Structure formats: C-alpha cells, structure tokens
Amino acid sequence: MKDICLALLPDSLASNEPAAFIDAPPPLNSLTLLRLFRYSPAMHEIIATYGYPALFLLSFLAATLIPLGSEWLLVAMLVQRHDPVATVAVATVGNYLGACTSYAIGIYGGNFLIGKVLRISSPERERAEHFFARYGSWSLLLSWLPVIGDPLCLAGGLLKISFVRFSALVAAGKLARYAAVAWLTLGTQTVAA
C-alpha cells in the first residue's frame, strides 16, 4: 500500500523516508473507533480530567442550534469504562437542557432572535412547522435527529406547546438515542474483547 501511495505523490513529496501519513488509515467502523479511543493517551487524559462535565457541556451545546455532536464523547467514555447509566444520564440531561434553551427562545425570542441572531433560515423553520402540523407535538420525540431536531424544539416554543408535554417527549427521545448509542457501543466492545 505504501508503494502505491508513493507512486501517487509528486516527486517533490516522495522520498525514501517513512511518513506517517502515507499508510492508509484503517476503515472507519465501530471497532476502529474502539481501538482509537482505547489507545489514545490524549483522549484518555481529556476524559479522565473533564469526563462528565465535558460530556454535559458538549451534549448541551449539541442540542442548541450549534452544529456539534456529542455521541463521540459518550462512546469514548464508555470505552474508557465509565459507568454506562451515569454517562447516559449526564448526556441526556445536558441534551435535554440544551433543547429547553431552544424552546425558550421560541417562546420568548420571537422572530428577531430566530431570524437575525440564530440565523435559522425560513426553509428550516417552515420544515419544522410543517412537521408539527403533520405529526403534532409527538414529533418532539424526534428532537434528537440531526438538522430537524433543533428547529423542532424551537417550533415547540413558537407554537406554545405545554412545557410538561415538551419535556416528556424531548427527554424520552434524547434518552432513547443515548441509550441506543450506549447499547451499541457496549455490544461492540464485548465483540472486540
């Protein structure tokens, strides 16, 4: 494989010196991620130092309109043998509270915050409102989905969905997502061992 990569490089970059970037990375699958998290000293140090607070913050921010993902840290913590129940609980609470901020913005922020500050485009907002019109507040169970999940929480606030109903549906959806990720991770970890 190294010879093929060297043949593809320009002559100025090709040399007889081994380079780390020349070896092709292994295919990215759950076992590769497991090995990466297990053997990365930097990842281990970050998790050991900041663990649950980092997971909470990342989960919180991921549920706002900031395009982040928190699943990778949940997986990393589970691979590092953190308590699965506590890890799923912290991620769920952080993600739920982040969704509550979107809900509050929908209730109190009005069109100015939604359009000017958060820069939610009209198509995104219309898609979320259309989803609500079609499926009602039950669509909040899908608030964990990428792209449409955060605008759904915002639409829940805009449409003045009861906070109790909003909380039950969003928390259930987010808990189910993190529990599924944990279950898949722990199942993969068992296979790899």
The total domain count for the chain is 1
pLDDT in tens, 140-150: 998 888 777 88
Confirm whether pTM is higher than 0.75.
no
pLDDT category, 106, cuts 50, 70, 90? Answer: confident
For residue 150, give its domain range.
25-192
Q: What is the dihedral of CA 175, 177, 180, 185, to 10 degrees?
A: -110
pLDDT at residue number 3: 43
Is pLDDT of 20 > 60? Answer: no
pLDDT in tens, 25-71: 444 444 454 454 454 566 556 665 778 998 898 899 888 867 778 88
Q: Is residue 20 in some structural domain?
A: no
Q: At what angle do helices 84-104 and 71-79 cross, to 10 degrees?
A: 170
In contact, 61 and 99? CB cutoff 8 Å: no
Q: Is residue 16 in some structural domain?
A: no
In contact, 72 and 180? CB cutoff 8 Å: no
pLDDT at residue number 22: 43
HEC assignment per residue over the chain: CHHHHHHHCCCCCCCCCCCCCCCCCCCCCHHHHHHHHHHCHHHHHHHHHHHHHHHHHHHHHHCCCCCCCCHHHHHHHHHCCCCHHHHHHHHHHHHHHHHHHHHHHHHHHHHHHHHHHCCCCHHHHHHHHHHHHHHHHHHHHHCCCCCCHHHHHHHHHHCCCCHHHHHHHHHHHHHHHHHHHHHHHHHHHHHHC
Alpha carbon separation from 65 to 18, 141, 167, 193 (Å, rounded): 43, 17, 18, 38
Q: Is residue 19 in some structural domain?
A: no
pLDDT in tens, 174-189: 999 999 999 998 887 6
d(CA 41, CA 80): 11
Q: Is residue 120 in some structural domain?
A: yes
pLDDT in tens, 45-57: 666 577 899 889 8
Is pLDDT of 94 > 80? Answer: yes
In this structure, of 41-45, 80-84, 95-99, 128-132, the range with the lowest mean pLDDT score is 41-45
Q: Is residue 2 in some structural domain?
A: no
Q: Is residue 118 in some structural domain?
A: yes
Q: Is residue 166 in some structural domain?
A: yes
Is pLDDT of 6 > 80? Answer: no
